[in-house]
Amino acid sequence: MSLWLDGASRSYPPLAGDESADVAVVGAGIAGIATAYFLAAAGASVIVLEARGVAEAASGRNAGFLLAGVAENFVAAAHRYGEQGALRIWRFTRRTQWLVRALVEEHDIDCALRWNGSDQIAGDDGEWREIEASARRLSSEGVGVSVDAPARSATYVEDGELHPVRWVRGLAAAAVKKGARIHESTRVIGVGPGEARTATGVVRAGAIVLCTNAYTARLAPSRVRPVRGQMLATAPAPRVFARPAYANRGYRYWRQTSDGRVLVGGWRDTAVDEEVGEEERTTEAIQTQLEAFLRQHRVSAPVTHRWAGTMGFSHDALPYIGRIAEGTFVCGGFTGHGMAFGPASAELVATLVRGATHPDADLFDPSR
pLDDT (tens digit per residue) in 105-131: 999 999 999 999 999 999 999 999 999
Mean pLDDT of 11-22: 98
Query: pLDDT digits over 190-238, tens only?
Result: 999 999 999 999 999 999 999 999 999 999 999 999 999 999 999 999 9
C-alpha angle 120/59/210, rounded to 5°?
A: 120
Determine the Cα–Cα distance for residues 250 and 316; give it in Å rounded to an integer. Answer: 15
Domains belonging to the chain, first-starting first, are 13-116+159-223+315-368 (3.50.50.60)
What's the whole-number mean pLDDT along residues 82-101? 97
Taking the whole predicted model, whether its pTM rises above 0.85 is answered as yes
Ranges of beta strands (E only) in the chain are 19-26, 46-49, 65-66, 118-121, 145-148, 153-156, 160-161, 181-183, 188-192, 195-198, 201-210, 225-234, 245-247, 252-256, 262-266, 303-313, 320-325, 328-332
**Residue 71 pLDDT class (50, 70, 90 cuts):** confident
CA distances from 338 to 10, 14, 60, 234, 354 (A): 21, 25, 11, 24, 23
Q: What's the chain's average pLDDT?
A: 97
DSSP one-letter string for 254-278: EEE-TT--EEEEE-GGGSTTTSBSS
pLDDT band at 263 (very low <50, low <70, confident <90, very high): very high
* Res 177: pLDDT: 98
Specify the pLDDT at position 195. Answer: 97
- Residue percentage of the chain with pLDDT more than 90: 99
